[in-house]
Amino acid sequence: AAVKPDLENESNIFTSLLLTSDLVGYIEKPNHYFINNDAKTRGELDNLLLTQGWRKIDWKQISANTAPVITYPAEKTMKISGTITKGGKPVPKGKVSLFSSSGGYFAIDTLSDENGKFSFDDFVFSDSTKFVVQARTNKDNKNVQIDLDMVPAQVVTKNSNTGDIEVNVNESLADYLNQSDKYFNEMVKRGMLERTIMLNEVRIVEKKNPAPNSANLNGAGNADLVITEKDLQNAILLSQYLQGRVAGVQITNGQAFLTRAMGMGGPRPMQVMLDGMNMGTEFRLDDIVVQDIESIEVLKSIGNTAIYGSANGVLVITTKRGGSSTGYNRYAPGIITYNPKGYYAMRQFYSP
């Protein structure tokens, strides 16, 4: 015999979109109001709405002709904005630069207003574009703090219809399991089914990538040496940690140098790639907070550095990005990385 479903107790797109999302309290058997379109069901629906009350309508605001406050307004343009502070006070006329190397080099500048606020707007970028925001005072002091304006995330609230959720799924599936067990037992008695099927042993072995979020052009984890956040958990300064720990690398004045490249036209520091961005020759390792680093990939051999066009070696540094509520990483005074959600690239779908 077939197992009959409990249609009235089901939750589907109609019950969620048209009923439970607009009502505050618990609704018993929400699909009951969508199965039959008759006078009795419509009367029961009226009684439900009178009892529960509407979630999205405030009659006092309607009577006063007051527009509701929109928590998540529609985005009319794409912009990156924020505030520059120094010692808790706004920085007026501060120099703010926004640049990115994702899909080609991009850089623009602006100045902060009297309240320390700045804004880059009316420009378009694709999804997964990485930006670096750099700020200085009007006297070129980099010891400032940058706070970007972030849209608050959707608040996760308790499900008002938790009464419909089965804690023990075996109770709701008991009829189905009993019918299935009877069917298989009958098949075994008739010799039409073997009860036991022995499968061959299959072993799946995978090596964990030590730098899964890296922007290494050779491929994440393809480096002469990979240093993980676990290795750095007791480190205070990055320059002190790397000194003497990496063969062939010497630390001088907060910069890393390859010993084999020291005599090639004068000492030149190793190229530092921070979240895919080239930080230039004036960047110091101690500008990065060690606790914000997820992995460091040391590229020394010609095979690994050739794609970067550097004979002086490359340090590919990836910062942590999981569990952050801000959406950006602050790893040094006056500079942050930001990875906003942009437009998806246009896709051509298959057509016969």
H/E stretch holding 239 reads helix 238-242
Report whether 337 contacts 121 (CB < 8 A).
no
Pick from 110, 106, 108: nearest CA to 126:
106
Share of the chain above pLDDT 90, in %: 10
Percent of the chain residues past pLDDT 70, beyond the cut: 80
Mean pLDDT of 99-127: 81
C-alpha torsion sign, points 167, 172, 174, 177: negative
pLDDT number for residue 95 = 92
Mean pLDDT taken over the chain: 80
Confidence of residue 263 (pLDDT cuts 50, 70, 90): low
pLDDT band of residue 115 (cuts 50, 70, 90) is very high
Residue burial 159-194, b: 16+ Cβ < 10 Å; e: rest: ebbeebeeeeeeeeeeeeeeeeeeeeeeeeeeeeee
Q: How confident is the model at residue 155 (pLDDT cuts 50, 70, 90)?
A: low
The top-scoring range by mean pLDDT among 15-24, 88-97, 252-261 is: 88-97
How many residues in total does the chain contain? 352
pLDDT score of 175: 78
Q: Give CA–CA dist 73/55, Å, rounded.
A: 19
What pLDDT shows up at residue 329?
58
Average pLDDT over residues 311-320: 87
Query: Which CATH architecture group holds 225-325?
Result: Beta Complex (2.170)
Q: How confident is the model at residue 166 (pLDDT cuts 50, 70, 90)?
A: low
The pair of three-digit structure tokens given for residue 119, joined into one six-digit string? 């804004």
Confidence label for 196 from pLDDT (cuts 50, 70 and 90): low
Which pLDDT does position 303 carry in this prediction?
85
The DSSP code for 76 is -
How does pLDDT run across 38-92, given as a tens digit for each residue?
999 999 998 888 888 665 667 788 788 887 777 667 777 778 889 999 888 999 9
Provide CB contacts within 8 A for 58, sequence distance 6+. Answer: 68
Digit-coded pLDDT (tens) for 118-152: 998 877 777 767 788 889 998 888 888 888 887 66
Q: Give the model's pLDDT for residue 328.
A: 59
